[in-house]
């Protein structure tokens, strides 16, 4: 299914606000099911990266250059997590100051969201992956922000501005200047996807226990990505 350009820009925004709305109205206490959704999203996004983005980005381009930018994406995400403390894959260990906008958290999440918006344009499968990734992240981020001591207006400003970053990345990727380097930016995004997806998937369960439900949702994510 080919989405109109306006829908491509709108859906990531709605995904973030859907996550926030879910938290605001339901006030979830148990985040176990959210973690399962996060595991599914990690498997789905990683699989789409293998099935869709990797073959496309290597086709007709210098393999070592592409590999270098993929590694650069992994390192970029590692660097961003010094400031976000792992919020991109469901960890929230940031200490917020009362009524102060968390600038470093916002900046790191925004750069991440900008990069992940690059390969969306013209690839509807990746759009599905980003949406499924964004919803549980938005839920976890919203729980954290709402439970913090920030004013509601500051929280809404954070969520609103963050929701615009992925569409902005998609829009920037369509400009003529950037489009000439689109394959390199896509390789960078692949590295980011690799890092966050593998962290989500291969983190040890609590007590290093085998988690059958998590394994099932991971297999389900891979299977659905294959069929998309």
pLDDT for the residue numbered 111: 92
pLDDT over 90 percentage in the chain: 40
Check if the beta carbon of residue 198 is closer than 8 Å to that of residue 70.
Answer: no
pTM: 0.87
Q: What CA–CA distances, in Å, run from 16 to 113, 145, 207?
A: 11, 13, 31
- The alpha-carbon radius of gyration of the chain (Å, integer) is 17
pLDDT for the residue numbered 89: 65
pLDDT for the residue numbered 220: 94
pLDDT at 210 over 60: no
CA gap 49, 192 in Å, rounded: 10
113-161 pLDDT per residue, tens: 999 998 887 667 888 888 998 998 898 888 888 888 788 898 999 999 9
- Over the chain, what is the mean pLDDT? 84
Phi, psi of 210, deg, nearest 5? -70, 130
Pick from 201, 213, 64, 57: which is nearest to 133 by CA?
Answer: 201
Contacts with 135 (C-beta within 8 Å, 6 or more apart), sequence order: 15, 18, 19, 37, 41
pLDDT for the residue numbered 79: 92
pLDDT at 38 over 90: no
């Amino acid at each position: 299914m080919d989405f109109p350009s306006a829908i491509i820009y709108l859906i990531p925004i709605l995904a973030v606000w859907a996550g926030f709305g879910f938290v605001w109205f339901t006030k979830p206490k148990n985040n176990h099911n959210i973690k399962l959704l996060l595991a599914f999203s990690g498997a789905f996004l990683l699989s789409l990266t293998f099935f869709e983005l990797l073959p496309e980005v290597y086709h007709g381009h210098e393999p070592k250059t592409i590999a270098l930018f993929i590694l650069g994406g992994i390192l970029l995400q590692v660097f961003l997590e010094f400031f976000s403390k792992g919020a991109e894959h469901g960890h929230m260990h940031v200490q917020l100051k009362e009524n102060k906008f968390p600038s470093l958290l916002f900046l790191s999440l925004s750069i991440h969201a900008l990069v992940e918006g690059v390969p969306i344009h013209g690839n509807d499968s990746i759009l599905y992956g980003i949406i499924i990734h964004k919803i549980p992240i938005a839920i976890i981020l919203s729980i954290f922000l709402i439970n913090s001591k920030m004013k509601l207006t500051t929280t809404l400003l954070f969520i609103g501005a963050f929701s615009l970053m992925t569409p902005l990345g998609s829009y920037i990727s369509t400009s003529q200047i950037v489009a000439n380097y689109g394959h390199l930016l896509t390789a960078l995004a692949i590295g980011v996807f690799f890092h966050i997806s593998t962290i989500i998937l291969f983190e040890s369960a609590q007590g290093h226990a085998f988690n059958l439900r998590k394994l099932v949702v991971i297999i389900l994510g891979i299977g659905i990505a294959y069929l998309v």
